[in-house]
Structure 1
Amino acid sequence: MAPALGAIHGAIEGVDQHRDRPSGVLRLNTSLGAAQLVLRPLILAYLRRYPGMKVELVTDNALIDIVAGGFDAGFRLAETVPVDMTAVTVIPAIRSIVVGSPAYFEGRVPPRSPSDLKNHTGVRARMASGAVYRWEFEKRGQAVEIDVPGDLTLDDAGLIHEAALEGVGLAYVTEYSVRDDLAAGRLLQVLEDWTPSYPGLQLYYPGRRHAPAKLRAFIDMARAYAKTAA
């Protein structure tokens, strides 16, 4: 039965590869943080351009085998993309920054170096492995990792963002995710000179076989978006 199903799937995929118009379901895997970066500019834009398409986006902070998982493609930070995959850079550089609300800073001296964080409260992040993330800093070649003290530990970037807005503590977040809050003054940035950018986000997919029309169209949109994000 399994070989027969495989043959049927292969036949369907073969037909789809020769269609000019994308059709079917595009299955994507990514982390939650990356999903927040690409949902509006890429995935929703893709659905608007191709009304007959469906997209299934699965978020998983653990890096998985997208082929074994039945996914067409995935989004990950450039440094974590498997070497046997073909990759397209979507966002050239990403920067993680430290932010806090004006209410949090009332009566507190803002940190001037990472070592000052021992006197502050952070909203801690738990990774998929179960370990608590140590905030990473770098300046003039000096790299530092800090286990920031705090009473609240979360495993979702959106919740960490919300907690920072509520003044619970400082948060280590992507600059992109809080740009509106920084512009409006709802959050303030500190330690700016200690948080350089790092290699950004890539769309990756198996390169050993011809991509179906639905994926080719998405790759084209990703390349076009990358030019605006550069």
Structure 2
Amino acid sequence: MKKVLLVLSIAVLILALTGCPGWFNFGDVQKMTIPEIIEWIDTNEATDVSEFLVETEGIVTYAYSYYAYIVDAENNGIMLRSDSSVIDFRDFNPGDKISVVGSPYFSKYGEYRLDTDTPGGTATLIEKNVALPDPYVLPAGEGLTVGLFGKLVQLTARYDGTDSYGHHTFNNGGVTVTVFKYSDMPSDLATNTTYTIMGVVGQSYGYKLFVWDKSYVLPAE
């Protein structure tokens, strides 16, 4: 009887471990889509980097030296993070399709991330000038939330000027949408003028729109 119970216990343990990749096969690289990565982060409540590595592909929507954002063809997005000098995401441009290996987690700032600093982390160009997916059109009266994190978002809103930190603020039907101050914005933005803006939803002391190129900001027709 004891032998049977021991066998059953081992079987249950194996099933539990194989069902939780965050606890099993450390060092292996598992191919996942961006939605699968986000689901894994939520299911495993991953809040820090680990030895669990995933590989995914996406189209760059915004890039800075130590972080970037990518989306898939359905506009599911995630942030890439590299705090070291090993990978400089400025080597990539919007429209570049890249392959990434990193450790997935949800940061304390409210970001779904792939950390490429972890051993085995990489970012490799696959193809240039890939068409971006259609953006999510933000309805009037709605703001930016974690549910939109990493996605391309477009809105038509009135420009109210800059806040005390230098970020650009837009009135979206009574709700303020903030554009990150280091975005490439037109120099001739006029207050009380309505614009159509497209960018990726990121986080910097709250969710903000990160705009890569001033051509994504146009006077509304």
Pairwise TM-score range, normalised by the shorter structure: under 0.3
TM-score w.r.t. structure 1 length?
Answer: 0.23
Please identify which structure carries the higher strand content: 2
Please identify which structure carries the higher helix content: 1
Q: Which has the higher contact order (CA 8 A, sep 6+)?
A: 1
TM-score w.r.t. structure 2 length?
Answer: 0.24
